[in-house]
């Protein structure tokens, strides 16, 4: 059997794809758990109340949450980045007066299904139910 760089590159590419998929499977619980946390904190509802085209910073969202934890904006930012990586919310970068970057988050068409509509209907309770410990243990 003759070794070729082309075959080696294909094997390596296949291994990398397989590794990525295995890592995705391993971490497949992260998105539902992150969504559940955002729903329980009412983050998506806060974003929806800000208006259809609103872009909010973690600080603006945390200001509407019942917490005094000074780390809350940073913690929320990490949570929102996970959700944004999956396209459920959008993330953009804005700069303050001093030129410092910060992230802004907005709802997307997908995330609107997790916000109560005019009839009070949302996928949020189903997400919460699916992440309930009793449901997970069964």
Domain that includes residue 115, residue range:
30-137
Could you read off the pLDDT of 23-48 as tens digits, one per residue?
777 667 888 899 999 999 999 999 99
Do 91 and 103 touch, CB atoms closer than 8 A? yes
**Does the residue 121 lie in any domain?**
yes
Please report which residue ranges of the chain form alpha helices under DSSP H: 5-26, 30-40, 43-49, 58-62, 72-85, 124-130, 133-137
**Does the residue 13 lie in any domain?**
no
**Does the residue 66 lie in any domain?**
yes
Burial class from Cβ neighbours inside 10 Å (0-12, 13-18, 19+) for residue 102 reads: middle
Count of domains forming the chain: 1
> Is pLDDT above 60 for 120?
yes
In sequence order, the β-bridge partners of residue 92 are 104
pLDDT reported for residue 5: 61
**Does the residue 82 lie in any domain?**
yes
pLDDT reported for residue 42: 96
The pTM score is 0.77
Do 86 and 33 touch, CB atoms closer than 8 A? no
**Does the residue 114 lie in any domain?**
yes
**Does the residue 24 lie in any domain?**
no
In sequence order, the β-bridge partners of residue 90 are 106
**Does the residue 19 lie in any domain?**
no
Alpha carbon distance 107, 79 (integer Å): 14
Do 15 and 66 touch, CB atoms closer than 8 A? no
Instruction: Output the domain CATH number for residue 61.
Output: 1.10.10.10
């Amino acid at each position: 059997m003759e070794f070729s760089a082309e075959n080696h590159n294909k094997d390596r590419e296949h291994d990398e794809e397989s590794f990525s998929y295995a890592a995705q499977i391993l971490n497949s619980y992260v998105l539902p758990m992150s969504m559940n946390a955002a729903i329980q904190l009412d983050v998506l509802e806060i974003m929806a109340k800000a208006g259809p085209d609103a872009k909010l910073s973690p600080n603006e969202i945390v200001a509407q949450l019942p917490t005094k934890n000074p780390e809350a904006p940073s913690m929320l930012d990490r949570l929102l980045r996970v959700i944004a990586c999956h396209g459920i919310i959008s993330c953009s970068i804005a700069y303050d007066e001093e030129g410092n970057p910060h992230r802004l988050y907005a709802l997307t068409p997908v995330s609107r299904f997790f916000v109560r509509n005019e009839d009070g209907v949302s996928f949020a309770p189903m997400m919460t139910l699916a992440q309930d410990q009793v449901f997970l243990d069964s």
